Amino acid sequence: MANVITRKRNGKWEYRFEGAKIEGKRKQFSKSGFNTKKEALEAGNKALAKYNQTGTVIQPSEIGFSDFLDLWYESYCKNNLKPATLTNYQKKIRLHLKPALGMYKLKSLDPAKLQQFITDKFNEGYSRNTLSVIKGILSNCLSYAVEPMKYLENNPMAFVKLPFKRVEPKIKSRVSPHVFIPKEKITEIFERFPEGSSTHIPLMFGYKCGLRLGEAFAVAWEDIDFESRKLSVNRQVQWREKDGDTPGYWFFTKPKYDSVRVIDLDEGLVSLLIRAKEKQERAKVFYAEEYIHNYEASDHALNQVGNGKPIDLVCVRESGEFIQPRTIQHTCRVIHGSMNYPEFDFHSLRHTHCSMLLEAGRHRNMFKSV
C-alpha cells in the first residue's frame, strides 16, 4: 500500500505518494508549499484517500475563470443546450460574469466572493429573474469543474443564495413595469404606424393577439386559418450572437414556456391580413426571380439561400426581405420621443391585450406567464 512521505524543499514542506503503474511505471503525486510538516502530511493523507476512492487526485486548477467559461461553453453548453439558451448564456457571460469574475483563477472563487457578486448585481437593480439565470450559470459551470473535470473538490455556489424577496435593492429595479395602454394612445400609435408600415402588423399581433415580440415576427401564412379565423402560435424568432468566426443569425424556436396555442382573430385583423397576403402575392409576380424567399434550415436558422424548407413569413418587405424584430426599436423611440409616451414597450401591448380579455370575463388561468 502506498504511503505519504514528506520532505522540506526551499523552506516549504511537500507531500508525495505513488499511484498505480501506467505502462510499467508508477505515477507520482506530489504537492508543495505547506508551512509545516503536519500540514503537508494531513493534505497528503487526504489526497491519498481521495485517490484510493476514485483513482484521481484533485488539485486546484490554475486555469483562469474566463478561460474555464470558454471551455465549459464549448465542451458542454454547445452540445447540450438549445440555441435560445445558448444565446442567453452567451450574453450573460459576456456582460456579467467575465467583467466581474473573469480575472480570477478558478480555484480562487469561494462562496464569499460569489455571494458578493450576486449581492452587487442585486443592488445594481437587476431583476430576480436575471439574477436567477446568472446564479444558474455559475452553479452549472462550477459543477462541471467538479465533475467531470475534477478541477475543484466542491462547488462553491452550493452556499450562495439570492437575496430575500422582501429586501430592497440600493438601486431601483431595472425592470420597467408593463403598462396598460389606453384606447386613445393605441389610436395614436396606429395612426403613426399605419397599414403598410413595417411594424403595423407586428404591433397588431401584439395588441389584438397578445403575441410576444419574437412570436409576432415569426408568424407564417401557414399559421393562419382565414376560414375559421384562427392563428396558431407555434414558434418565435430569436437572434443568435456571433460565435467565433460564425456570424450571428436569426433562428426559430418554440414560444417562451413552450406556450403553443391557438388564438381567435377578429374581423378587422383578418381583413388586414388578407390584404397583406394579396399584396405579397402581387409582389412575388412583380419581382419574379428577384423576389427574396425565406427558408428554415435543419438547425432552425432563418436564411435566404435555399437551405432547408421554405417558410412564407407574414412580416416581410415588398421584396420578400424578412422584417427583423429590431425594427421595433425605432418604433419605440418614436413613441417615446415625438409621441411623448415613454412608458410604452412592445410587451405592454400583450399586457393590454390580456387585461382587456380579463375585463371581458376570460379567466386568468388560461394565460401563460407573461
Is the pLDDT score of 1 beyond 70?
Answer: no
> Would you tell me how many other CB atoms lie within 10 Å of the CB of residue 196?
11
Tell how far CA 337 is from the center of its chain.
Answer: 30
Angle at 357 between CA 188 and CA 129, to 5 degrees: 85
Is the pLDDT score of 82 beyond 90?
Answer: no
> Would you tell me how many other CB atoms lie within 10 Å of the CB of residue 250?
20
Is the pLDDT score of 363 beyond 70?
Answer: no
> Would you tell me how many other CB atoms lie within 10 Å of the CB of residue 264?
11
Is the pLDDT score of 24 beyond 70?
Answer: no
How much is the pLDDT for 56? 57
- Starting from the edge strand earliest in sequence, which strands make up the sheet with 12-22, in order? 5-9, 12-22, 25-34
138, 47 contact by CB (below 8 A): no
Give me the mean pLDDT over the 34-41 stretch.
91
Q: Which uninterrupted H or E stretch holds 51?
A: helix 37-54
As a whole number of angstroms, the distance between CA 219 and CA 202 comes to 9
Q: 58 or 164: whose pLDDT is higher?
A: 164
Each residue's pLDDT tens digit, 253-277: 999 888 999 999 999 999 999 999 9
How much is the pLDDT for 241? 83
Q: Across all residues in the chain, what is the average pLDDT? A: 89
Each residue's pLDDT tens digit, 98-111: 999 998 889 889 99
